[in-house]
Amino acid sequence: MDEARVGPHRRIGDHGIIGDMETAALVAADGTIDYLCWPSLDSPSVFAELLDAERGGAFEIRPALDAARVIQIYVPDTNVLTTRWMATSGSVEIVDLMPHPDARVHPEHRARCLIRRVTVTRGTVAFAARCRPRFDYAREVPQVVAADGGVCFVGRDLTLRLHASVPLICGEGVAEAGFTLGEGESAWFVFGEEALERPDDATVAAEIAATTTAWRGWLSRTSYRGRWREEMMRSALALKLLTSNRHGSIAAAATFSLPEAVGAGRNWEYRATWIRDASFTVYAFMRLGFIDEAEHFRRWAGERVMAADRAHPIRIMYAIDGSEAADEEELPHLAGYADSRPVRIGNGAHAQSQLDIFGELMDSVYLSNKYGAAIDHAGWQHVRGVIDYVIANWDQPDAGIWEMRSAPRHFLHSRLMCWVALDRAIRLAKKRSLPAPLVAWSEARDAIVEDIWSNFRHPEHGYFVQDRGGTELDAALLMMPLVRFVSSTDPVWLKTLDAIGTHLRDDGLVYRYRNADGLEGTEGAFTTCTFWYAECLARAGRLDEAQMILAKGIAYANPLGLFSEELDLRGEPIGNFPQALTHLAFISAAYFTDRRLDPGYRPNWQP
């Protein structure tokens, strides 16, 4: 990343995430909350300084400590974040969290909120706090009025409240506080819904303790005891923050419009539920023993399928609440991260045809039935409608997994996932003795196999290629052995794996593709692909290489173990953050590699 372009902006990777499974906030390494949407993850922003340092709004707490070293850590096995300053003259920590929905200290008085507790652990330290929300994507500066011992930020359609244990001063669009704490002393700030009542010291402490206990209780349900456990659990906790406690849907990332390439216009909305990404997340949750999350998403996805018609049995993405995803809109008043314009909300890709989603959906349905509750009669009828659509359309061009904004093409990955849809439906029908035209389904599945082997090979080298009749590679091909389409040691596949390693990989960085995609600029390496590549190496028995790529991939996480969407040429995180697809790909790769390293490992071809 060009540091001159970033300027005074905080870097994308210099953040932790907190949340309550309805929304999430990013906390920068300097203790500033510079990103929060309210009341839901896909609602308009309240703080968006990460996207515009002047207009976006933020919540700052700054200790007066010269030359302090600042570190961030999570309270172990939780999403409770601690930022710590250490200087010669003193030391300070801030604990940031959003109360867990199961941590109800006083349920009858409970309002959703964000808690910040400041403690001096050594010396005497002065602080300056500044809460400057900007509603509706920074299009509205709220009025600030003192009320009920706190401050209200009043907008046209939203009112939020701030309480603190220190005096607050109202300004124009801002509430501020200046205070000094001695060793062992604390102060707190609670920011949230209009109905938020003023807490006392004991209530704040109890909320922190209860939320810590709730997160640890959830994580204790995991069945995983293998290698890379700490990193796996952090990924699981990040995925849980992106999972709606109310709906069961799973967001692709917490943010919108963070650039895939600085200054190039590749800035997209990720606060939606992609059927693809969420279905992969189901697999990751089940691998770790979190069956309830998988079942909750299966019910949510089933409702989407049952609400659709046979002409369009499911959309590629939905809003968090299951409604239709918003159309793409530009926000010209925002400067963008590191001046990367335009800032976009909504996503025009929601209207694209991406045939691969049917495979990911059916894989999640199959796995949920294998490890969770059996599908009911009505659900199976809708599955049959999905399969009818796949049979009628699998040979059509589409935009592909990477949502190309050029002309539709015949992508191998889309063909592959149509095969998965048919294969999993056939397996499920046989496993549950469900009525289905198995002969017709099998014939269609086999026709896709023949098409892929005949029409998606490099004319000279023989390895698999991105699109029909083409010569370019695509990291999405790494899914071929992962979904059991081809043996992980098939000679043609091994040629493909080596070609990807040669042409799409830069050490531990793996790029999605190298060919033109109809967009300005050149994107970074896609972090998900690094872990797909590692898992393919492990499945091929190349365990030393797999472990090395895993180690390099883990090293590209930020200090808190969070992965961004992409990495620039310097390995700096770029794109939306944290990204679910990368965390779940890491879980899958680490899980399989751990199994493969077990001396008692035996291959199993059942997905």
The model's pLDDT over 499-514, given as tens digits with 9 standing for 90+, comes to 999 999 998 899 999 9
According to the model, what pLDDT value does residue 190 have? 98
Q: Can you read off the two tokens belonging to residue 125?
A: 């330290």
Question: Do 381 and 494 belong together in one domain?
Answer: yes
Q: Domain for residue 4, yes or no?
A: no
Q: Is residue 527 part of a domain?
A: yes
Q: pLDDT band at 263, cuts 50/70/90?
A: confident
Task: Please report which residue ranges of 242-356 form alpha helices under DSSP H.
Answer: 275-287, 291-307
Residues 328 and 198 in one domain: no
**Secondary structure class of 305 (helix, strand, coil):** helix
Do 346 and 437 share a domain, yes or no?
yes
| pLDDT top residue among 458 and 523 | 458
606 falls within a domain: no
Q: Please give the Cα distance from 119 to 590 (Å, whole number).
A: 37
Specify the 3-state DSSP secondary structure of 59: strand
Cα–Cα distance measured from residue 390 to residue 371, given in angstroms and rounded to the nearest whole number: 25
Q: Which domain holds residue 309?
A: 233-597
Please state the domain count of the chain: 2
Residue type, 548: M
Q: Which pLDDT tens digit goes with each residue over 42-67?
A: 999 999 999 999 999 999 999 999 99
Query: What mean pLDDT is predicted for residues 273-291?
Result: 88
pLDDT value at 464 more than 90:
yes
User: Percent of the chain beyond pLDDT 70?
Assistant: 97
Least confident window among 66-70, 118-122, 268-272, 346-350: 346-350
One-letter amino acid of 402: W
Q: Which residue has the tokens 């009043």?
A: 154
Q: Residue 404: its pLDDT value, please?
A: 85
7 band by pLDDT with thresholds 50, 70 and 90: very low
Domain end point (choices 160, 193, 218): 218
Pair 287, 178 in one domain? no
Instruction: Reply yes or no on whether the pLDDT at 151 is more than 70.
Output: yes
Are 368 and 329 part of one and the same domain? yes
What mean pLDDT do residues 97-115 have? 84
Instruction: Examine the pLDDT at 5 and tell me if it is beyond 50.
Output: no
In this prediction, residues 426-452 reach a mean pLDDT of 97
- Report the pLDDT value the prediction gives residue 605, as an integer from 0 to 100: 45
Looking up residue 237, the CATH number of its domain turns out to be 1.50.10.10
Provide the pLDDT for residue 27.
Answer: 98
The Cα–Cα gap between 199 and 120 comes to: 21
pLDDT band at 522 (very low <50, low <70, confident <90, very high): confident
pLDDT at position 406, please?
81
**Are residues 167 and 311 both part of a single domain?**
no
Residue 333 lies in a domain: yes
Identify whether residues 350 and 275 lie together within a single domain.
yes
Name the band, by pLDDT with cuts 50, 70 and 90, for residue 166. Answer: very high
**What is the pLDDT, as a whole number, of residue 282?**
82
With bands split at pLDDT 50, 70 and 90, how would you rate the model's confidence at 149?
confident
Here the CATH number for the domain that contains residue 91 is 2.70.98.50
What is the pLDDT at residue 280?
83
- Please tell me whether residues 151 and 49 are part of one structural domain: yes
Lowest mean pLDDT among 68-77, 107-116, 349-358, 426-435: 107-116
Instruction: Please say if the pLDDT value at position 450 is more than 90.
Output: yes
Cis peptide preceding 39, ω within 30 of 0: yes
Q: Within this chain, do residues 193 and 244 fall inside the same structural domain, yes or no? A: no
Q: Is residue 304 part of a domain?
A: yes
Q: Are residues 419 and 535 in the same domain?
A: yes
Question: Which tens digit of pLDDT belongs to each residue from 177-193?
Answer: 999 999 999 999 999 99
5 within domain boundaries: no
Residue 370 — pLDDT band, cuts 50, 70, 90? Answer: confident
- φ and ψ of 355, to 5 deg: -70, -15
226 assigned to some structural domain: no
> How far, in Å, CA of 446 to CA of 218, rounded?
43
Question: Kindly report the CA angle at 339 between 336 and 344, in degrees rounded to 5?
Answer: 30
Over the chain, what is the mean pLDDT?
A: 93
What pLDDT, on the 0 to 100 scale, is given for residue 109?
59
pLDDT confidence of 265, banded at 50, 70, 90? confident
Give the model's confidence band at 108: pLDDT under 50 very low, under 70 low, under 90 confident, else very high: low
Least confident of 130-134, 286-290, 389-393, 540-544: 286-290
Residues of the chain with pLDDT > 90, as a percent, come to 81
| Predicted pLDDT at 604 | 60
Task: Give the domain-ending residue among 175, 192, 218.
Answer: 218
| 246 and 97 assigned to the same domain | no
DSSP state of 312: B
201 and 268 together in one domain: no
pLDDT tier at 3, thresholds 50, 70, 90: very low
Q: Under a CB-based contact definition with an 8 Å cutoff, are residues 538 and 591 in contact? A: no
CA angle 159, 186, 166 (to 5 degrees): 45
Pairing of strands 24-28, 15-19: antiparallel
pLDDT for the residue 9: 66
Residue 207: which H helix or E strand, with range?
helix 201-219
State how far the Cα of 521 lies from the Cα of 222, in Å rounded to an integer: 42
606 pLDDT band, cuts 50/70/90, is very low
Which of 193, 218, 243 delimits the end of a domain? 218
User: What does the alpha-carbon distance between residue 582 and residue 556 come to, in Å, rounded to a whole number?
Assistant: 11
In a domain, 191, yes or no: yes
Q: What is the pLDDT of residue 283?
A: 83
